[in-house]
Structure 1
């Protein structure tokens, strides 16, 4: 297979991949159902509330719109705003992440404003629940602002409510450098009756469409993990069509967006119910824990965790089983994960993600070099055999069977594999797709600078210089092809391929374009070296005339 045909195959694979990705965003029936559900949402009658029904309730509770005062809880990486009515987290600022490139403002994940509602709620329902139809728990706090001191590794903030001889304490615990927040309930029963409560935690998010463009689509929606599904997305349209209800041990429920995630992680030793619902343009995903009974003059603690932060794979893997799968590499995960590990290792040495990408490209091309060498050697032999093949065509005319037999015999004698160029191409495309999803999912690459005008490798080149250089390198690689295309139609198609690739790559993350450009330059060098060595060995003299 000549390099022109290789480029054509690569182009077809790339175009097919992009078309499929865009179709998933625009024409997938599920996505269309989501858009329809969002359009109808404002007209729906309220079917959900701030407080879910307990296990023995027959219908959801009514919406509670009243708010209490807010307090601030701040660690070195997180600043939470908590409403004392219910103890809900209504805002989370990620202090180590900028809202935009070069912005001085921190990235706001959880938020509750006129544009979007994205909050984390939790509470106690059931027979003696303090979050009921008539209202949410109104907690008391000792201060309005709490901050992790420089000499502290942990900050604990209790919210207290006393009711009918029972003291309910909702405690937030933030640890230094962590986005995993412990949210525990302590029920101290000083009454004469047994207290029965049931915990819940849920994430509420305004129903919005996924953002991005055809080259960089992003997912915003629900996801969960259960004993039967390690990781499964549950989009807003799926929530609108059918309420999720899964009983499982352990598990978690989350809302995902580009690079970030918020999730409730209930007690992993308990049986929990995962659920969803939608109403009034808002989708909710959460968990309901088992009923807890607290005998008179005794105490019980109910544990849960809230994650609100970046998709940090190592930290999420430590937080809960399968939680790191929210970094979704798609079907190419088995390639993307080791590539990302290699990328982070090289970055730790060179301290520049762009140089790390170049390093990964060199490693990949080095590993594939034996196949590349076999590819170009086969292509060179095919070029040398063209006069003999043309002679066969003239000799056998329309006898295709005889022609095929003689060609196979010739290939065998000269040890030529006419399909020798396929394997490197077939291997390179999955690697490209794996890197594509790595750039889409790895928060480490968000706002990662290279040099000069490239200040964000996860975004497109603002001046389109890298795509143009990539197109030029592809054109040069095409011109170095050892087997020129004779057919005028094929020639026009091949001449158009660098232009087509350049246009597509205008919207790709600049880091991905950098990988492709580096790969092309290395291929050009390898091709030149391989052919030079073949000429020195006098390959053409060994091919029978």
Structure 2
């Protein structure tokens, strides 16, 4: 009995002990973990599991050797990736700055390259959703997608790019050096020295003891550059941006500006190359060597993409002299600064490569520079240049007005011929030319001033959107003489690429051109326009200004300002000349005297008259044959 009671007491006691233990566990248990704690615990558990697995596969070394082993593994990995440059394979990116009154240049120790160029005196133009213009500081080379470096082929055949290395910077005044350690006193170094009051950088790349590191004594420069949108007319800015280059014995050349393009020059020695936009560029000029195996590439982007254009360059830089000396220019396309290099670097300014480019470089640009010394407003400079050109061409304008007055004096005789020949236009044309020949009047004399002005117009067509002197310069309602002026922004785009705006300078030019055409045609006798070719010319003179309205609507307002003022001066010169300088009675007497002079043979009038007679004869024979068939 006592044994049973003892067993029962033991069971009850054990049960109470288990109950107390259970209650203690429940009472002292931590609260349920949060989601973050759960994730952290899971991560720790996974890490512990991975560490345990690693420990199983790789038994831990003796105490004190763990850190050394980790460093050895890391160094081995860097050596496998960077070879002798393993000491520069890891590090912390640092930024250094060189600046003067014009520019602030930020450098990165990652690659020892230029990270950003801040232009202190220039702004970029962008628009908000409402179409309002916004101005922000202009920067070059700032895109994070950009990449610049030298590909090195090591003695082992391994390829290493400096863009992946961490350089040690050393700054001394306006000079900064970046050194990539290759061990045992060997290194690759890049040195930049910013010139005062200039956008020019003296640049050197080379090193010490590289003969035992590099498999070949050359570096391959590789540059990828995403251009930023800086201008108001981005479509035109895109077509004026490209990779330019110049060999030692040829003129400067460039990749196609309007499509994707690649230019490879093989072993041709290249003196310089440049990534150039409409008004800015970054250029590399070789001093004690020439680039080899040059390749330039351009890739177009659409307006919807954030970048303007992609430019790429690859070139071999020899280190035969131990150090390659170059000059970097990164800044505005200022003609005089670029010309000062003495290597035709100014050819990157898109003034044109034909005779019109020469007119811009050596005639128009110097004239603008001269006038700008005395006049601060570029709009007034354009007006003064227009006035100067019209004064120089006035002798031709006078001859044009004189020719028109002579034709007007012959009008009664022309009317008599019209009554005589009626609807026979062929006969009328022949007789009219005989009359002009008899009185020595050139019916096309009024075209000469226009023809002589055309080279100037074509040159100015390239000049205004390329000359940085007019960038963001305002005049009247135009805010930028290098781009279009806009008085109305439209919710749609006009046809023929005319843009979504209305240019007032363009409208004024169209109206004044039509009026001047009407006034000039009024002075000519209508019979001179009777044949089909002359009729076509007549209609074209009215049709072309209307068509050019769409073309000029998005063009540089500096050009349309020039054309407007030129038309106004044309009208003024013509009216003043006719009213005050032309004596109609004297002209009539001169015509009669010409009639009595011996007629010269073999001139253009005789040839034209013979051609008209021959054409009249052929038409008569054709009419007879058609009559016989009937």
TM-score computed with the length of structure 1 as normaliser: 0.73
CA distance 1:327–1:344, change in 2 (3 Å): same
Residues 140, 220 of structure 1: alpha-carbon distance in 2 compared, 3 angstrom cutoff? same
Cα displacement (A) at 1:324:
0.8
Equivalence for 2:387: 362
Equivalent position to 1:347, from 368, 372, 392? 372
- 1:194: Cα distance to partner? 9.4
- Between Structure 1 and Structure 2, which shows a larger proportion of helix residues? 2
Of 274, 279, 284 in structure 1, the residue corresponding to residue 312 of structure 2 is 284
Counterpart CA distance in 1 for 2:236 and 2:136 is 28
SS in structure 1 of the partner of residue 318 of structure 2: coil
- Please point out which of 564, 588, 598 is paired with 1:517: 564
> CA, structure 1 residues 108+345, in 2 after alignment: closer, same or farther (shift >3 Å)?
same
Q: 1:329 aligns with which of 333, 343, 351?
A: 351
Residue aligned with 1:372, SS: helix
Partner SS state of residue 418, structure 1: coil
SS of structure 1 residue aligned to 2:268: strand
Classify the secondary structure of the residue corresponding to 1:141.
Answer: strand
How many residues were matched structurally?
461
What SS does the corresponding residue of 1:349 show, helix, strand or coil?
Answer: coil
Within 5 Å, which residues of 2 pair with 1:37-76? 68-76=93-101
User: 2:519 aligned with 1:480, yes or no?
Assistant: yes
Are 1:305 and 2:352 matched, yes or no?
no
Given candidates 247, 252, 256, the residue that maps to 1:235 is 256
Which structure 2 segments of 5+ residues have no match?
A: 1-88, 127-132, 302-309, 488-502, 596-630
How far did 1:391 drift? 2.7
Which of the numbers 142, 163, 176 marks the counterpart of 1:157? 176
1:130-175: per-residue Cα shift (whole Å, max 9, x none)? 97169733211247xx9x7xxxxxx111112332322433111111
Distance 2:525 2:427 in 1: 26
* Structure 1 residue 375, shift from structure 2 partner: 1.1
1:105 maps to 136
CA contact (8 A) 1:449 1:456 kept: yes
Structure 1 regions of 5+ residues with no counterpart? 1-63, 149-154, 294-299
Q: Which moved more, 1:499-508 or 1:104-113?
A: 499-508
- Residues 1:466 and 1:166: Cα distance change in structure 2 (over 3 Å): same
Root mean square deviation, CA, Å = 4.0
Counterpart contact for 2:510–2:545, Cα < 8 Å: yes
Q: After TM superposition, give the deviation of residue 376 of structure 1 in Å.
A: 1.5
2:456 alignment partner, SS class: helix
| Mapped partners of 2:91, 2:427: distance in 1 | 86
Q: What is the CA–CA distance in structure 2 between the aligned matches of 1:355 and 1:170, rounded to whole Å?
A: 47
Larger deviation, residues 368-377 vs 246-255: 246-255
Contact 1:210 1:218 in 2 (8 A): no
- Deviation readout 1:204-227 (Å, 9 max, x if unpaired): 134999995888873222221113
Decide whether the 8 Å contact of 1:196 with 1:292 is kept in 2: no
Question: Which of 226-235 and 369-378 deviates more?
Answer: 226-235
TM-score, scaled to structure 2: 0.64
The answer on 1:123 being equivalent to 2:150 is: yes
Partner of 2:247: 226
Distance 2:395 2:222 in 1: 53
Counterpart check, 1:275 vs 2:322: no
Q: Where does 1:463-474 land on structure 2 (aligned, <5 Å)?
A: 463=487, 464-474=503-513
Q: Work out whether 1:141 is the aligned partner of 2:180.
A: no
Structure number with the bigger relative contact order (C-alpha 8 A, sep ≥ 6) is: 1
1:410-449 residue pairs with structure 2 within 5 A? 410-449=435-474
